[in-house]
Structures are given as structure tokens and as C-alpha cells.
């Protein structure tokens, strides 16, 4: 079977003037370097912010470890959206598939053990994926309508199943399961202790790096590591194999792909099934790592946040990781030292706004630059006028951050060309 060949234009590139091509963020080698440089500079900036504001929890090992747990379900849900949309199927049903995953982890984990809970979460998520794939790929139902229907059906179905299976069990009830057995965690004792001593010395950047390394070798759930490994594996499969090229061609030009012998319907169907499995696993992380049982309303809209993280990442795994980390980090800060840590972030926002405004003015975008600088000055004034951010605003911080980042990133987004389009077999001919 012949396969489509890579275009000379990198995925994510758009034509520039006179036929040149401009590489967008997260594209190819340029994207990897931007990701590495961004992570290093961001971590260094947090170290400076910690020293200036005295908010020590900004880079503590506890915060980093909690961030890894918080970002995992968002990242996995976004990864599910990435697989589906790279094949041309919009998956708004990620939230419902996550809900199915939380119940699968709760029921199978309590009944058969921890790893059975992981398998149950993936399996029930794939059930949601199967419904979505059948509706959109086979019957041509509008992708948005199908996804919203799955979210509604999953919510009602799981509440009904929970009332049947968990009521009367020790610690269980209509809105929660009994406690699920814990998954293994990884701790390297001597290294963790040594890094802890270095962290306690409060040295600029050195202690912050020690905190990061300590978080990676202290009480880290294997499911978090599996999630990160799946992100790397997805990048390899989608961008470094013939299978990935065929799948992505289904989301860019399914007619052209079919004319070259690609089984477009099969690839789309399989991608949505995989998408459901990832979303189900995301729900499993919430039930088994972030918590210790299934609870009603546990997902808290993280399926939609995962979709937003995928958009921020421009349909690329590296950007998806950064978007998930941003939400997970701000959510974690709200739970640890709450108002103090979030107040420290206000200073960072003020500085970034002033610098960004200055750059806009240098580029002769005077009005936009002046407005941005004005916002930075206003945020700085708020920082100096208050001692602690009120609790309600702390809770809002992750969602406001996500909206702001998407607003600024939206001008550089490029979705797969055929994403969301209904495709019928034989359309190529």
C-alpha cells in the first residue's frame, strides 16, 4: 500500500510572503528548542520571584510533586483530544469519557485491585470513545453534538451505576466509592534526603533545582510516570512513524490520503477509540492518585481544560504539556499557601505585561503596547496594595490563567485542515 509522503512544508507551518514558510511554535526542531528554553527560563523566573517575594512554596518540592499530579489528568485528556483531532475528529466528549474513567477506576479498583482499576478506567473511557466514533465516523453525526451528548449521558449513567454498586459498601454511597487500593509510588531514599538538605539551604536557583529533582524521586506515583511516558510515546508514534503520518493525513486531507491507499475511516475510528482510552485513564488518575476513590463531580471540567491545553499547545505534545503544567501549577498554588503564592504571581504578571507592552511599542503597535503596559501597572498596584489574594480569586486563578493564555495564543493556532469535517468513504473518487 502506498503511503503519503511528508510535505516539504513542516506540520504547523504557514505560507509566508513570496512563497516562504514561517515555522510556528511547537513545530519540528524549532518547537523542541522553544519548549526547552521556555521551561528553563520559566523555572529561573520562578526562582527569582521566590527570592523577591518570599513565597517559598513557589518552587518547593511539595508544590512541584502536587503539580505533577494535578497536570496528569489534564495532560492525558488533552492527549486524547490530540489523537482524535489529528485524525480529523473533534472530541468535545472528553469530559464524559473522564467521568466514565473515574467510575471504572472506582468500581474495578475496589473489586479487583489497583491495576484492575487502571484497566477499568481505560476500558470505560474507550466505551465513550466507541460511541463517539460510531456516531461521528460511521453515521456522520456532527462532532460537537455527539460530544455534548456523551458528556450528558456519561454523567447520568455513572450516577445511576454508582447508586447501584456502591451503596451499602464500607465507605461507599450514592456519590462515592469505597477506598481504592493504592498504586505503587517511587522513592529513592538517600537521594531524596540529600536533595532535601540542599533544598532547605534556600540557595538561589540551586535549592530550586534540588526541589525539582527531589519531587521526581520522592513518593511519585507510577501512574504519573506512565502518563508522561505516554506523552513521549504519542509524539514518537504520530510524528516519527508511517502510522502517524497516515493518521495525521486523515486530519489534514482525508480525500488525498484515501487516494493514496490510506484506510481513512479505520484510522479515524481507531484514533477516537485511543482518545477515549486516554480520557478514561485521565479519570483514573483523578480517582486513584489525586484522590483515593471515585466521587461524583470529580472531574470538575478538566476534560474541557485538557481540550484548552491542547489548543494552547497548537495540537502538539510539547505545547500540550506546557499548557497542562500551567493550569496544574496555578491550581496547586491555590491549595498551598493560597493567597500568598497567588499574590506573588501577580508581580510576575505585572512585569511580563510591562515588558510585553514595551516590545509592542518597539514594533510600532503603540495602542496595544500602551494598553498592555497599563494593565501591568494596574496589576502591580494591586500587588502592593494587598497582603493576600482573597480565597474566591485564588480558586478562579487557574481558569483565568487558561483564558488569558488562550487569548494571547489564539493568533498562532493552526488546527488540522479537515478537523471536524464529516467524511464519507469514497469521497476521494
Q: Judge whether 279 and 104 are in contact, CB under 8 Å.
A: no
Predicted confidence (pLDDT) per residue in 16-61, tens digit: 333 333 334 444 555 567 767 777 888 888 889 888 888 888 889 9
Residue range 247-255: mean pLDDT, rounded: 95
Whole-angstrom Cα distance, residue 209 to residue 61? 9
User: What pLDDT is recorded for position 338?
Assistant: 66
Which position has the higher pLDDT, 70 or 425?
70
User: What pLDDT is recorded for position 406?
Assistant: 67
- What is the per-residue DSSP string for 167-218? TTSTT-BTTBPPPPPPPPEE--HHHHHHHHHHHHT--TTHHHHHHHHHHHTS
User: What pLDDT is recorded for position 333?
Assistant: 84
| Three-state DSSP state, 21 | strand
Going by their DSSP bridges, the two strands 21-22 and 185-186 should be labelled as unpaired
Whole-angstrom Cα distance, residue 86 to residue 42? 29
User: What pLDDT is recorded for position 12?
Assistant: 39
Identify any residues that bridge with 220 across adjacent strands, giving them in sequence order. 186
High-pLDDT (> 90) share of the chain, %? 59
Give the distance, in angstroms, between the CA of residue 194 and the centroid of all CA atoms in the same chain. 32
Q: Judge whether 137 and 89 are in contact, CB under 8 Å.
A: yes
Predicted confidence (pLDDT) per residue in 125-138, tens digit: 999 999 999 999 99
Q: Residue for cell digits 489497583?
A: 114
- Contacts made by residues 380-385, CB under 8 angstroms, sequence distance 24+: 380/346, 380/347, 380/350, 380/351, 380/354, 382/346, 383/343, 383/346, 383/347, 383/350
What are the C-alpha distances in Å from 198 to residues 94, 195, 206, 209, 212?
A: 41, 5, 8, 9, 11
High-pLDDT (> 70) share of the chain, %? 89
Predicted confidence (pLDDT) per residue in 356-405, tens digit: 889 889 988 888 889 889 988 998 998 888 887 787 777 787 777 777 76
Largest CA distance in the chain: 71
Over the chain, what is the mean pLDDT?
87
Q: Judge whether 121 and 298 are in contact, CB under 8 Å.
A: no
What would the 3-class secondary structure string for 254-268 be? HHHHHHCCCCHHHHH
* Low-confidence winner among 42-46, 285-289, 290-294 (lowest mean pLDDT): 42-46
**Using the 8-state DSSP alphabet, how is residue 289 labeled?**
I
Q: Residue for cell digits 516590545?
A: 359
Radius of gyration of the chain (CA): 23
User: What pLDDT is recorded for position 10?
Assistant: 39
**Using the 8-state DSSP alphabet, how is residue 221 labeled?**
E
Residues 6+ apart with CB under 8 A from 300: none
Quote the pTM value.
0.88
User: What pLDDT is recorded for position 348?
Assistant: 86
pLDDT at 156 over 90: yes
Whole-angstrom Cα distance, residue 216 to residue 192? 9
Confidence at 410, pLDDT banded by 50, 70, 90:
low
Give the CA dihedral 242, 24, 12, 88, nearest 10 degrees: 120
Predicted confidence (pLDDT) per residue in 163-214, tens digit: 999 999 999 999 999 999 999 999 998 899 999 999 889 888 899 999 999 9
Amino acid at each position: 500500500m502506498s503511503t503519503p509522503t511528508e510535505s516539504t512544508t513542516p506540520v504547523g507551518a504557514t505560507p509566508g510572503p513570496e512563497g516562504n514558510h514561517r515555522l510556528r511554535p511547537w513545530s519540528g526542531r524549532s518547537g523542541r528548542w522553544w519548549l526547552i528554553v521556555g521551561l528553563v527560563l520559566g523555572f529561573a523566573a520562578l526562582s527569582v520571584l521566590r527570592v523577591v517575594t518570599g513565597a517559598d512554596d513557589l518552587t518547593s518540592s511539595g508544590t512541584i510533586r502536587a503539580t505533577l499530579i494535578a497536570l496528569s489528568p489534564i495532560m492525558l485528556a488533552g492527549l486524547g483530544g490530540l489523537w482524535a483531532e489529528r485524525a480529523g475528529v473533534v472530541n468535545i466528549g472528553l469530559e464524559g469519557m473522564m467521568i466514565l474513567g473515574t467510575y471504572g477506576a472506582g468500581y474495578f479498583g475496589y473489586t479487583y485491585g489497583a491495576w484492575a482499576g487502571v484497566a477499568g478506567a481505560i476500558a470505560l473511557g474507550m466505551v465513550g470513545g466507541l460511541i463517539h466514533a460510531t456516531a461521528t465516523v460511521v453515521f456522520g453525526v456532527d462532532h460537537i453534538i455527539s460530544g455534548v451528548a456523551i458528556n450528558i449521558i456519561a454523567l447520568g449513567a455513572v450516577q445511576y451505576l454508582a447508586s447501584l454498586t456502591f451503596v451499602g459498601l464500607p465507605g461507599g454511597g450514592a456519590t462515592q466509592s469505597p477506598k481504592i487500593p493504592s498504586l505503587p509510588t517511587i522513592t529513592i531514599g538517600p537521594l531524596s534526603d540529600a536533595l532535601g538538605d540542599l533544598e532547605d539551604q534556600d540557595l538561589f536557583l540551586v535549592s530550586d533545582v534540588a526541589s525539582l529533582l527531589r519531587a521526581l524521586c520522592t513518593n511519585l506515583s507510577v501512574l504519573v510516570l506512565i502518563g508522561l511516558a505516554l506523552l513521549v510515546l504519542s509524539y514518537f508514534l504520530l510524528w516519527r512513524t508511517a502510522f502517524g503520518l497516515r493518521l495525521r493525513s486523515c486530519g489534514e486531507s482525508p480525500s488525498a490520503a484515501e487516494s493514496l491507499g490510506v484506510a481513512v475511516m479505520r484510522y479515524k475510528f481507531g484514533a477516537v477509540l485511543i482518545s477515549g482510552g486516554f480520557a478514561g485513564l485521565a479519570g483514573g488518575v483523578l480517582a486513584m492518585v489525586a484522590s483515593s476513590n471515585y466521587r461524583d463531580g470529580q472531574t470538575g471540567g478538566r476534560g474541557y481544560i485538557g481540550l484548552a491545553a491542547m489548543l494552547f499547545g497548537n495540537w502538539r505534545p510539547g505545547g500540550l504539556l506546557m499548557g497542562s503544567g500551567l493550569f496544574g501549577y496555578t491550581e496547586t498554588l491555590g491549595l498551598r499557601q493560597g493567597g500568598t503564592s497567588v499574590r506573588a504571581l501577580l508581580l510576575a504578571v505585572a512585569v511580563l505585561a510591562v515588558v510585553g507592552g514595551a516590545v509592542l511599542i518597539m514594533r510600532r503597535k503603540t495602542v496595544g503596547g500602551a494598553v498592555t503596559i497599563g494593565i501591568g501597572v494596574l496589576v502591580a498596584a494591586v500587588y502592593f496594595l494587598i497582603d493576600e489574594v482573597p480565597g474566591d480569586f485564588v480558586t478562579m486563578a487557574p481558569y483565568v490563567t487558561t483564558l488569558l493564555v488562550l487569548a494571547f495564543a489564539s493568533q498562532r493556532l493552526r488546527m488540522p485542515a479537515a478537523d471536524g469535517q464529516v467524511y464519507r468513504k469514497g469521497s476521494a473518487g
